[in-house]
Structure 1
């Protein structure tokens, strides 16, 4: 049974069991735990993973999903679904972004199913049972909050997994250790930038300890079981009210009694700063976060410089990115589409889908001119082939699809005979 036929058969109902529901609920909160996490360490990790997902997904979106029928381009319904509109609620960019996100975040990979109307949908969560000698089965498939109560089999779905599907789990384990250093750097930064003052009290102010605070009846006020003095009253007012403007971000003037002095503990003789919050940077934190970015980049075979936006050797990094990161993912998507959607018989007859990664790179027409002219001159590309590389509309003329060759080129055997033919021609003259 082909991919586009699997909704036509009678659905198989499945019973709900606690273990499956628990697994499904865990998958549902997967993205909220990572992408919308409120903890600092989770946010750093989620941001690093999201950068990689965006780079991979953006590259996949740039690819052209070519569909061929007996070796010739056929831009039909399948081409439209894969390149423009997989379903009524998503365009191709949103669709493939969600596929890549599921492939990275879910150890079981991404699952693509088809609706009754033939639309392609990406499952938010599912449970899978893998077998050795019969097709794998997929149950509890949830899409946008709706759970499909059917069992799907391997030939009925597109199941896409990263070759290094355990990479996120491994990265989580590494980060659990490395995250302690990052949290320590954040604490040190907060501690270094915190305002720290000492209230110096000399003998002049100590004299207030002998002056009791009296109530309206002339009796000493008792607070928390302790007789209250003017010393206690001033100190309480100092910490509860007067020092608040000092630590605010606004200009303020705070009165101090004689005998009280406020000293900045961070303004030491060994420090280059003039106060508590001066000359403190986040360099340690940013350096550690850069290490996290590098870890994720290495895990997904993305050049570090490309992930961080370096401008040096962009062409070389892009080539490595396509070769070692994008091409393996593209080949898996291509193989899954061809074996499930087209089948062996069609593929052997050159009716299949071919994903072209050429458009990931941005071509400069001035740099491409000499190469395009050479490829056209030797008959490798037609005019429309070159226009396709440039992402321009083809020319609707027969001559634009023809392959031409310069007369300067000939077969070796013809070239070797050229001298003898020339001598004969000269004799005839």
Structure 2
């Protein structure tokens, strides 16, 4: 049975056993922690990981999945699925985004299966794999959009994609858990330095209110929290519970103070911007640490640091490194998996296969390509339609547009070494 025959029918919801329920909970927890970022400790890590996922998936989306039939480029059903619509609920961009996200977030990678009824390609949300040494691996408990597939799959019936270092996220998690203590310290220092701090000055005049009890309607001293209440206590409680709230709000405010009370700004000297209570502490320490986290994530996934953070300096060199070190290995793995599962050995040996082209990841400037395109045409490597295809334009439906030409300035090396009249005659005949 091939990949096109893996489903006995469309997926249906079934009663989940305990193992499947536990897997669903684990999957939910992963995305709650890393995607939602409910905790600040997780949010910075999720931000760095999402930057990496977005950069990689956006690059894969720009790749061309070219399909060949005996060496001839022939778009067909597989081409349409890989480039336009893998299934009725996803376009190619959504599909490959989910594939890359699963490859990064799931230590076991991404699993692609195909519905035999419709031929649609679907990405599993979770699955379990049982590995063997001398027979195909087995995949079970495959969940897709809340539906559980009732049977297991062998290795040849699925496309299984993993990062070259499948434990890269786990390693990054371990590094971050150590580094997050420094980040937490920087956040606490920032909050502590920027907190508004006042001192309440109480002199002897106000202190005399301790001798004046607060009486109720019957003339008895009021008891509060088990202690006799004085005017001193009443005023102090009112200040902290009511009067000082407007002072610490974002709006302008005025509060009355009894004789003998005074407020002094503890931030008025030392680390203040002026004579007010705003501290001179900035977020640069925190942002520098967040940059460190992003840099660590970039290094882990072989993405140039500047490219991950959107720097524009030397972007061409960074893009070349990004494609060579990060994207090409992933694209080659996707290509190999498609060819060995969808086409098979016999077809590949007959040059019927899929090629993942990464040239279009880099934006092409036609003015910069003109010289190179002319050279490729002059040596007979490209036809006019080949050039149009490279720059993303529609081909010309004429026989002459597919013909290859060569300049007469080129000759076989053995003819060029002969020299004299024979050489000139041979060059004219090339």
Quote the offset at 1:183 in angstroms. 1.1
Instruction: Show CA shifts across 1:213-260 (max 9, x none).
Output: 222222322222322211111111111110000011111110111111
Secondary structure, counterpart of 2:254 in structure 1? coil
Residue equivalent to 1:261:
262
Aligned partners of 2:53 and 2:152: how far apart in 1? 29
Residue equivalent to 1:414:
415
Instruction: Show CA shifts across 1:43-98 (max 9, x none).
Output: 11001000000000000000000000000011010000000000000000000000
| Deviating 4+ runs (over 3 angstroms) | 8-11, 14-21, 269-273, 421-425
Residue equivalent to 1:246:
247
Aligned partners of 1:10 and 1:362: how far apart in 2? 41
Aligned pairs (5 A) from 1:219-238: 219-238=220-239
Tell me, which stretches of 5 or more residues in structure 2 are unaligned? none
Worse-matched range after superposition: 174-183 or 276-285: 276-285
- Count the aligned residue pairs: 424
Aligned partners of 1:114 and 1:28: how far apart in 2? 24
Q: Is the 8 A contact 1:28 1:124 kept in 2?
A: no
Aligned pairs (5 A) from 1:22-421: 22-115=22-115, 116-269=117-270, 271=272, 273-417=274-418, 419-421=420-422
Q: Is the 8 A contact 1:24 1:127 kept in 2?
A: no
Aligned partners of 1:43 and 1:313: how far apart in 2? 30
Aligned partners of 1:77 and 1:312: how far apart in 2? 41
Q: Is the 8 A contact 1:110 1:160 kept in 2?
A: yes
Quote the offset at 1:387 in angstroms. 1.0
Worse-matched range after superposition: 18-27 or 288-297: 18-27
Tell me, which stretches of 5 or more residues in structure 1 are unaligned? none
Q: Is the 8 A contact 2:331 2:356 kept in 1?
A: yes
Aligned partners of 2:313 and 2:419: how far apart in 1? 50
Quote the offset at 1:25 in angstroms. 3.0
Instruction: Show CA shifts across 1:284-339 (max 9, x none).
Output: 11000000001100000000011011111111111110001001100100000000
Q: Is the 8 A contact 1:382 1:400 kept in 2?
A: yes
TM-score between both structures, scaled by the size of structure 1: 0.94
Aligned partners of 1:133 and 1:209: how far apart in 2? 89
Aligned partners of 1:146 and 1:225: how far apart in 2? 62
Aligned partners of 1:274 and 1:376: how far apart in 2? 73
Aligned partners of 1:255 and 1:58: how far apart in 2? 60
Quote the offset at 1:158 in angstroms. 0.4
Aligned partners of 1:218 and 1:31: how far apart in 2? 64
Secondary structure, counterpart of 2:276 in structure 1? coil
Q: Is the 8 A contact 2:53 2:104 kept in 1?
A: yes
Quote the offset at 1:418 in angstroms. 5.3
Q: CA RMSD in A?
A: 2.1
Quote the offset at 1:276 in angstroms. 2.9
TM-score between both structures, scaled by the size of structure 2: 0.94
